[in-house]
Structure 1
Amino acid sequence: MTMQVSITARKTIIQGLKLAAGTILAVALSKSLGILSPYATGTIALITLLSSKWETVRLTLYRLLTYFVTVAVSWVVYRLVPLPIVAFGLIMAVLYWLYNAWHLLSTLAVNGVICSHFMTYQDFSPDMILHEFLIVLIGVLSALLINQFYTKRTTERALRGWMAKSDQELVAILERIANHLDEEPAKAFHVTAYEESLTKAYALARDFEENTFSKHTNYYVQYFKMRLAQCHILKSMLWELRRMPMNPKQSKVVTNYIRYLSRYILETNAPLAQQKELEKLMRQMKDEPLPATRQEFESRAYLMHILLDLEEFVACKQHYIDGLSEKQKAAYWRS
């Protein structure tokens, strides 16, 4: 857990410094150009900097384009209702309807700042329109520049550490499941902590993907999504184990397979051999003599469900491997 707290704290500090740098840059540029509301550019930079690097690029384009829509709507509404306070409210309503329909609500706050200036000065001259456009331009470009700074190496190092950790923890969980089938009665356990750890790592992977312009950076997202899917399968297996009345003699075969499977957990392993071994095991189970008692029948039924879970568990890994491009394998499987 220390690794995640460390990277989160570091990212929080860096984000705060980026907000400071972006707003200072925007206000300083505005003052040097004689902008009437220099701190408005800082506000726009602040709002834009709260987005990821990719989102900042998209928002920069959208905010510049919607600026002209805002000017047009503001001018029309103000001509119809020449009461600044009322006009401002009506303009916000119209802009909301438009940008909601266009899925551009993320631009509304910045356009609200611009509209407030037009209502304050009640001036729609070409000079004023250019002046307000510069406010938007300086704000978004300052954010765009500052948001290029991202702790890529630190974040990627943390992600690699989480991958190694998740592999180790998964091996330990499979070993505990195997022990559960060996012992009677067995101690119950949960994978809640493992799931929480994977969820945080997945969030970090999403952040890495959204803030990196490099190719194939969705590799980490795909990996942790696969591990989360496997974790959900493990929860199903544990539910079945807790309800199995007894450990039938066939449990030993399943136990041996789980221990065999745990040796091939690494991210780069394509589980083709493990799939074939599991198919062989399931054929063997079908050839076993019929259960003699109700308790044994129920236990064998739960054991078969566990085998089906293992089949899904292995298929999940194979699906992940199949979904990777050759370029991703070359980039991330160098070792």
Structure 2
Amino acid sequence: MKIGLRTVKTALGAVIAMVLAYELRLDYWSTAGIITILSVQNTTRYSFNVAGLRIGATILAFMLAIFSFWLLGFNPWAFGLFLLLFIPLAMQLRLQEGIVVSAVLVSHFLIEKSYSWYWLGNEFALMLIGVGVALLFNLFMPSLMAQIKGFQQEVEDQLRQILLQMAQQLSGIEKVPTWQHLGALLTVIRKGREWASRQQDNQLLVENDFYRSYFEMRRNQYEMLRQMQANLDQITLSLKESTAIRELLAETAASLAQPQKVQHLQHRVARLQDKFDQAPLPTNRAEFESRAHLYLFLLDFETVLTLAGDFYDKVILNEK
């Protein structure tokens, strides 16, 4: 059995919340621990959002509870009226995170047959202790950078493999499993983007969106690579331009971790496009179609490089 960090934080936080509520001589002190359990979240930023929503929902619930108990007395019918008013209004105000907890706190008014200032203060203190302890524990989140960098390396390995396989297919090698690697690439990009978002949401005072933007850039490149492969599959003839494109793909694969090479590769693509424009017209339909698909392949590859170039230019600008 594996006990994770969140489980440890939840258990310890619940104990501390209950001890605090007990030492402050609050009634229903165990409720503070339950609120802590419900308030410990996966990320620091989301925990603060949930805390704010629950406090807002509590204030709304107390106002509606006072009205319901004043109108119908302290009985189940009044509690039902409270829920009838509170739940749809909380949903409309997007305070649904606080519905269950607030309903529990209001049930204490029903049990005690009172909504005096004492009981209002008691229940609000339970809420503040519960969410406060949860927020304190959620400030301590482990860094996910090792996992994120691992996904980054895996993405670049997959990209390198895909580019080399495209070069092989241009050489006439059949049954190159590029589509399979494209699927694997998308899976890794999604995982990397998810972990990068979690890491970003744990940094309240530091705004560094590098890795989330990085995986977004790779996601856009993936779409271009799919189009490149679709065009590549339509090429039925060996063309003289293929040799230069194979070399370009191989050089790109070798320099994925070198942002300074992007501009050089873009210049090479531009020169290849000029050669296409100056080349003699095709002599038959098969050659025409193959040349057209190869040219589209090159245009999409240019977009792949442009996406990388724009990303790294933005990084350099932000550093300045």
Structure-2 change in CA distance of 1:247 and 1:104 (3 Å):
farther
Unaligned runs of 5+ in 1: 1-8, 331-335
Q: Distance in 2 between matches of 1:251 and 1:297?
A: 14
Cα offset for 1:125?
0.5
> 1:285 maps to what in 2?
276
Cα offset for 1:64?
2.6
Letter paired with 2:154:
K
Structure-2 change in CA distance of 1:292 and 1:81 (3 Å):
farther
The yes-or-no answer on 1:104 pairing with 2:95 is yes
Q: Distance in 1 between matches of 2:282 and 2:103?
A: 73
Letter paired with 1:271:
V
Q: Distance in 2 between matches of 1:231 and 1:270?
A: 20
TM-score, normalised via structure 1 length = 0.86
Cα offset for 1:97?
3.1
Q: Distance in 2 between matches of 1:24 and 1:235?
A: 53
> 1:171 maps to what in 2?
160
Moved more, 219-228 or 109-118: 109-118
> 2:34 maps to what in 1?
43
Asked whether the equivalents of residues 32 and 129 of structure 2 are also in contact (C-alpha less than 8 Å), the reply is yes
The yes-or-no answer on 1:156 pairing with 2:145 is yes
> Over residues 133-165 of structure 1, what are the superposed CA-to-partner deviations in whole Å (9 max), with x where a residue is unaligned?
11101100110111111112xx11222232233
Matches within 5 A, 1:169-208: 169-189=158-178, 190=180, 191-208=182-199
Which of these residues, 82, 89, 94, is aligned with residue 80 of structure 2?
Answer: 89
CA-atom RMSD, angstroms?
Answer: 2.4
> Over residues 13-70 of structure 1, what are the superposed CA-to-partner deviations in whole Å (9 max), with x where a residue is unaligned?
1111111122121122222223322232122111210252012223323333442222
Which of these residues, 292, 305, 308, is aligned with residue 299 of structure 2?
Answer: 308
Structure-2 change in CA distance of 1:59 and 1:186 (3 Å):
closer
Cα offset for 1:229?
1.7
Letter paired with 1:246:
L
Asked whether the equivalents of residues 44 and 202 of structure 2 are also in contact (C-alpha less than 8 Å), the reply is yes
Secondary structure at 1:185's aligned position in 2?
Answer: coil
Cα offset for 1:219?
1.3
Secondary structure at 2:94's aligned position in 1?
Answer: coil
Letter paired with 1:40:
T
Cα offset for 1:214?
4.4
Identity score, percent: 23
Structure-2 change in CA distance of 1:24 and 1:290 (3 Å):
same
Which of these residues, 243, 260, 264, is aligned with residue 255 of structure 2?
Answer: 264
Moved more, 33-42 or 130-139: 33-42
> Over residues 177-235 of structure 1, what are the superposed CA-to-partner deviations in whole Å (9 max), with x where a residue is unaligned?
11111124342432211221221111111110111234233211111111122122212
Letter paired with 1:312:
T
Letter paired with 2:249:
I
